Amino acid sequence: MKTLGEHIVDKQSEFPDATGELTSLLSSIKLAAKVVNRDINKAGLVDIIGSTGVHNIQGEDQQKMDLFANEKFKAALEARGQVCGVASEEEDEIIIFNSEKGHNGKYVVLMDPLDGSSNIDVNVSVGTIFSIYRRLSPVGSTPTLDDFLQPGSAQVAAGYVIYGSSTMLVYSTGYGVHGFTCDPSLGVFYLSHENMQIPEDGRIYSINEGNYLAFPPGVKKYLKYCQEEDKETNRPYTSRYIGSLVSDFHRNLLKGGIYMYPSTSTYRNGKLRLLYECNPLAYLVEQAGGRASNGFTRILDIKPEQVHQRVPFYCGSLNMIKKVESLIQEHHTQES
């Protein structure tokens, strides 16, 4: 059985820098993930569940595990010197590692340290999402905001960790998507899913249908399409929505399906963050043969304007995304 470290070394020749720095950086993420996983598994036994009573910059209630995971990932990424700064969903501003070792780091990491953290209280799977870019500013200098405001197409690696019935780390450096399952008795991630591919057609749609009245007309029409009976296209489709983005994405990646978080009357620009959630998952789904869009534009082509920017998000099986895009654009044209 091949470990995560062995797999990264084997694939290192495919990575543009091929200097061992990616190995060390991903090892930092792996270490922090194991620490977070350990404490998630203690939920209910120690005081790590529930709200802190503090709101993040998006106005969302921060959970205790949000802050714990954020601190563990920051510490792990700073320790080895490959990363010069971090942007996190839990931080108002970008975090610069102000040390000589930090300033010499070649990469920046953007992350959602604990996606779906409120679900820990009810023992539902949660995850970590990460995105890695090569810095634009000169190595040795102080990183700048521009290092973080790069389009998703500039990512050199991305991935997620899902803390569920088993703990898995899934990543890509632009040469396929590979999944590793943690053996809890050893604390080692072993290759379990090599070259993951999402089916071009799926039978699962994932969306919070409680917001139906606030959805754009094209999305409403697509939901009706999913629910219609049609033997030729194997409809109706099955509705599956966990409410943890990583969990919904992971299931659809394996089985085929579409995840949707459109704009609503409350969230005009959508709710999900472009840099911390949409870009890394879009990168992974494209590497697996799928597609990700805001309904009009490829997610990876969007130039970010701010670190906490939100976008509508449609991600999953290629043909399902093409269908929802066509209906969204059709209604947009009619309204224009």
**What's 84's domain CATH number?**
3.30.540.10
Is 138 among the domain residues?
yes
pTM, whole model, 2 decimals?
0.94
User: Rounded CA gap, 136 and 150, in Å?
Assistant: 9
The helix, strand and coil proportions of the chain, stated in percent and rounded to the nearest 5, come to 40, 25, 35
pLDDT of residue 334: 77
At residue 21, the pLDDT reads: 82
User: Which of 125, 159, 193 marks a domain boundary?
Assistant: 193
| Whether residue 242 sits in one domain with residue 146 | no
In this structure, are 188 and 209 located in the same domain?
no
Per-residue pLDDT tens digits for 8-31: 877 766 655 545 788 889 999 999
- Distance of alpha carbon 97 from alpha carbon 240, whole angstroms: 41
Is there a domain that residue 108 lies in? yes
Residue 262 sits in the same domain as residue 170: no
> What stretches in the chain show pLDDT beneath 50?
18
- Domain shared by 167 and 252, yes or no: no
Clarify whether residues 293 and 230 are in a common domain. yes
Which residue carries 């072993």 as its tokens? 190
User: Tokens 């997610």 appear where?
Assistant: 299
Is 271 among the domain residues? Answer: yes
The CATH number that applies at residue 307 is 3.40.190.80
Looking at the structure, tell me whether residues 186 and 303 fall in a common domain. Answer: no
In a domain, 261, yes or no: yes
Last residue of a domain, one of 193, 217, 250: 193
- As a whole number of Å, the end-to-end CA separation of the chain is 56
Do 47 and 161 belong to one domain?
A: yes
Domain range spanning residue 244? 204-335
* Total number of domains in the chain: 2
Instruction: Please tell me whether residues 65 and 91 are part of one structural domain.
Output: yes
Domain identity same for 177 and 255: no
Q: Is 199 among the domain residues?
A: no
Same domain, 88 and 25: yes
Domain co-membership, 172 together with 208 = no
* Residue 31 included in any domain: yes
Cβ atoms of 274 and 298 closer than 8 Å: no
215 located within any domain: yes
Kindly state the DSSP code that residue 149 receives in the 8-state scheme. Answer: -
In this structure, the strands spanning 155-163 and 126-134 are antiparallel
Considering the domain boundaries, does residue 84 fall inside one? yes
Q: Clarify whether residues 171 and 149 are in a common domain.
A: yes
Q: What is the pLDDT of residue 57?
A: 61
- Residue at a domain's end among 169, 193, 217: 193
Pairing of strands 258-261, 204-206: parallel
- The two structure tokens encoding residue 103: 């300033």
